[in-house]
Amino acid sequence: MTASTVTPASLAPPRRGKIRRSLTSDWAARITFYVSIIVAWQLLAWQVDRMPAPWETFDFLYRELTGGSHGGVITGVFWEHFLVTLQRFSIGLGFGFVIGVILGVAIGTLGFVKSLLNDVMLVFLALPAVIWAFLTVMWFGLGWAAPVYTVILSTIPFVAVNVTQGIRAVSPDLHRMSGAFRVPRERRLRHLMLPAITGYMFTGLRFAVIIGWNAVLLAEWFGSTNGVGWRARFWYDAARYRGFLGWVLIFIAFIFLLDGFVMRPLQRRAFRWRDGRTGDGDQDAAESVIDTMAARGV
């Protein structure tokens, strides 16, 4: 999709008019896609009573950002709820990532930990985040603990599995060679293990971000009194679907931007030494989605 993708079409561009060519360019195709989404949304809003139209939703979002009221409720609390959720999400993500890395290294390097946890991990990978949300709400009640623990518990297995994979990907030949040449332990860690697992750690972090965001929203929906997930539920329960859909758009927009503009480029950078790419190509988008699928928890 970028210029670096070599396809027969780009090698020999067909002779077309200038207008025609600009209408069929990649950028035009992308813009057309977004326009079609908005059109489809508008059509859906005409068909379904409960579905607000795009402009109504954006109008609500504007009021939730700047102040005013909607359906008798004072709006303008976007930052308040967003920052609460962001804080829970970051704390949970931090703990989940650190514990996941430690666990992943233990599974990858210690034999008995591996035999103990390798298969059990499968169960935890398959465990939907909503279960953690329910359990933590029952354990800790409404408040801060449930969302934070839900994020920690649902991200750990994904980070751990990726780190373990990274450790297994270290070439055994290189290990043996560094043994034969008596390379000291710390140099082996720095130059052999670390480069090998960094990329996998970033992949794990990326999954953790995707999964953790879903987890924090679920836990807030079912067991919180503030935050993004709670606010969406608030409007849903009040049957004010503009408010509800507005916040659902925030669910999507946040992760879309974070994953597309921060996490995916970072992951590519971390694997750059291995893939031999300069880091701007998007031809591995397909791979990365397949990866996401492989490790995704909903």
Partner 1 sequence: MVLGWVGFLALWAFTSVFILDEFTLPGPAKVGAAMWQIVAQGEFFDDFAASISKTFMGFALGALIAVPVGYAMGRSRYWKAFFHDGVVGAGSIPGITYAVLALVIFGTGFLGPVIAVGLISMPFIALSVAEGVEGVDRNLISMARAFRRSDPQISRHVMLPSIMPFVFAGVRLAFAIAWKVEALTEVFGSSNGVGFQIRFAFQAFSITNVLAWTLLFILFMLMIERGLAVFERRVFRWRVWETA
Closest approach of partner 1 to the CB of residue 24, in Å: 5
Residue with Cβ nearer partner 1 (63 or 206): 206
Nearer to partner 1, 97 or 244 (CB): 244
Q: Please give the residue ranges that form the binding site for partner 1 (CB under 8 A).
A: 1, 7, 9-10, 24-27, 29-30, 32-34, 37, 44, 48, 50-51, 115-120, 122-123, 126-131, 134-135, 137-139, 210, 213-214, 217-218, 221-222, 229, 232, 236, 241, 244-245, 248, 251-252, 255-256, 259-260, 282, 285-286, 288-290, 292-294, 296-298
Among left, alpha and beta (phi > 0; psi -120 to 50; other), residue 182 is: left
How many helices (H) and strands (E) in the chain?
Answer: 17, 2
- The least distance separating partner 1 from the CB of residue 156, rounded to whole angstroms, comes to 15
| CB contact at 8 A, 204 and 161 | yes
Query: How far is CA 115 from its chain centroid?
Result: 30
Q: CA 93 from chain center: how many Å?
A: 11
* Sequence letter at residue 215: A
**Residue 8: CB minimum distance to partner 1, A:** 8
**How near is the Cβ of 181 to partner 1 at its closest, in Å?**
33
Nearer to partner 1, 79 or 256 (CB): 256
- C-alpha distance from residue 1 to each of 83, 250, 255, 292 (Å): 35, 27, 22, 20
Nearest residue (CB) to partner 1, 78 versus 213: 213
Neighbouring-strand partners of residue 70: 73
Q: How far is the CB of 232 from partner 1 (least distance, A)?
A: 7
16 closest CA partner among 25, 8, 29, 6: 25
**Residue number with CB closer to partner 1 (73 or 120):** 120
Tell me the three-class secondary structure of 100-133, residue by residue.
Answer: HHHHHHHHHHCHHHHHHHCCHHHHHHHCCHHHHH
**Shortest reach from residue 222's CB to partner 1, in Å:** 8
Rounded CA-CA distance 247/252 in Å is 9
Residue (20 or 272) nearer to partner 1, CB: 20
